[in-house]
Amino acid sequence: MQPNRAVVVEGVATDWQCYQRWIDRTVAPPKLDVSYLKGILPNVPVPVADCGKQHYNSHEKIELALYDFLQSWESDETNADQRQRQRNRYYLKDWHLRSELPQYSFYRTPALFASDWLNEYLVENGSDDYRFVYIGPKGTWTAFHADVFGSYSWSVNIFGRKLWYLLPPGEEQKLLNSRRNLPFSVTEQTLQDAGVVFFSILQEAGEAIFVPSGWYHQVQNVEDAISVNHNWFNGCNVGTIWNNLRGALDDVRREIDDCRDMDNFDEHCQVMLKASFGIDYADFLAIIQYVCDKRLASFKEGSTVQQIDNYVLGGKHLMYDLITIRNLLMEIEEQDSLAYYPALNDLVLSCLKRIEAVL
Angle at which helices 342-358 and 281-301 cross, to 10°: 20
167-210: pLDDT as tens digits? 999 999 999 999 999 999 999 999 999 999 999 999 999 999 99
pLDDT-derived band at 306, boundaries 50, 70, 90: confident
166, β-bridge pairs: 199, 217
CB atoms within 10 A of CB 8: 15
Question: Is 30 within 8 Å of 23 (Cβ atoms)?
Answer: yes
pLDDT of residue 343: 96
pLDDT at residue 109 tops 80: yes
Domains of the chain: 7-232 (2.60.120.650), 237-357 (no CATH)
Pick the range with the lowest mean pLDDT from 54-68, 81-95, 114-128, 313-327: 81-95
DSSP codes of every residue in 111-144? GGG---HHHHHHHHTT----EEEEEE-TT-EEEE
Alpha-carbon dihedral 178, 181, 184, 185, rounded to 10 degrees: 60
95 contact partners, CB below 8 Å, separation of at least 6: 46, 47, 132, 133, 134, 135
70-103: pLDDT as tens digits? 988 875 544 556 556 667 899 999 999 999 999 9
Q: Across residues 139-148, what is the average pLDDT?
A: 96
Which of 346, 350, 282, 291 is CA-nearest to residue 323? 291
Listed in order, strand segments (DSSP E) in the chain are 7-9, 23-24, 31-32, 45-55, 58-65, 90-95, 131-136, 141-145, 152-159, 162-167, 199-203, 208-211, 216-221, 225-232
Rounded Cα distance, 325 and 350, in Å = 13
Residue 68 DSSP SS3: helix
